[in-house]
């Protein structure tokens, strides 16, 4: 089947089987490999993208369900000149990553969090990030990064 998507600001038409997951289309057909496959059960959040303005786990959505959607992946956050998105810069500055496997999904969820809860407290951030699992960091620097990134996004 043919699926029309707007990915990172560009219209895309993708031929895909009806049972293909959005994460498979992003990674395997469109070669946007920043979106990771972690658990295949929508538990870890490594596959998080922003779809129509909300963070979603792309391993839990059929590509056909995303017909006509606007999707932003981690590759679409930075400016055209390579300048990092404020949340990406905050994760770098606050050392909010270690192995990096969860980072793309964590950043995407953090962008959504900052857009919809710009003044979230530390405990609210921890609660709102509950669907993204990091096995390395202990979350302290991730929370700092989200706070810093949200402040930078609000100031922009």
Domain stops at, among 46, 76, 106? 76
pTM greater than the 0.85 cutoff = yes
Question: Does the pLDDT at position 41 exceed 90?
Answer: no
Q: What is the mean pLDDT of the chain?
A: 94
Looking at residue 100, what is its pLDDT? 86
Is 29 strand, coil or helix? helix
Range of the domain at 31: 2-76
**Residues 135, 101, 27, 13, CA torsion sign:** positive
Residues 6+ apart with CB under 8 A from 136: 97, 98, 99, 102
What are 2's strand-pairing partners? 15
Instruction: State whether 72 and 108 are in the same domain.
Output: no
Instruction: State whether 64 and 30 are in the same domain.
Output: yes
> Who has greater pLDDT, 30 or 42?
30
Angle, CA of 80, 69 and 20, to the nearest 5°: 105
């Amino acid at each position: 089947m043919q699926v029309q998507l707007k990915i990172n600001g560009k219209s895309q038409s993708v031929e895909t089987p009806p049972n293909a997951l959005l994460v498979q289309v992003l990674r395997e057909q469109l070669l946007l490999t920043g979106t990771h496959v972690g658990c295949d059960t929508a538990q870890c959040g490594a596959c998080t993208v922003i779809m129509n303005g909300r963070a979603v786990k792309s391993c839990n959505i059929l590509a056909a369900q995303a017909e006509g959607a606007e999707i932003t992946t981690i590759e679409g956050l930075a400016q055209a000149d390579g300048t990092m998105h404020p949340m990406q810069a905050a994760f770098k500055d606050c050392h909010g990553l270690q192995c990096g496997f969860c980072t793309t999904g964590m950043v995407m969820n953090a962008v959504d969090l900052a857009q919809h809860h710009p003044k979230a407290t530390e405990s609210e951030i921890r609660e709102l990030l509950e669907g993204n699992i990091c096995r390395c960091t202990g979350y302290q620097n991730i929370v700092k990064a989200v706070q810093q990134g949200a402040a930078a996004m609000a100031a922009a």
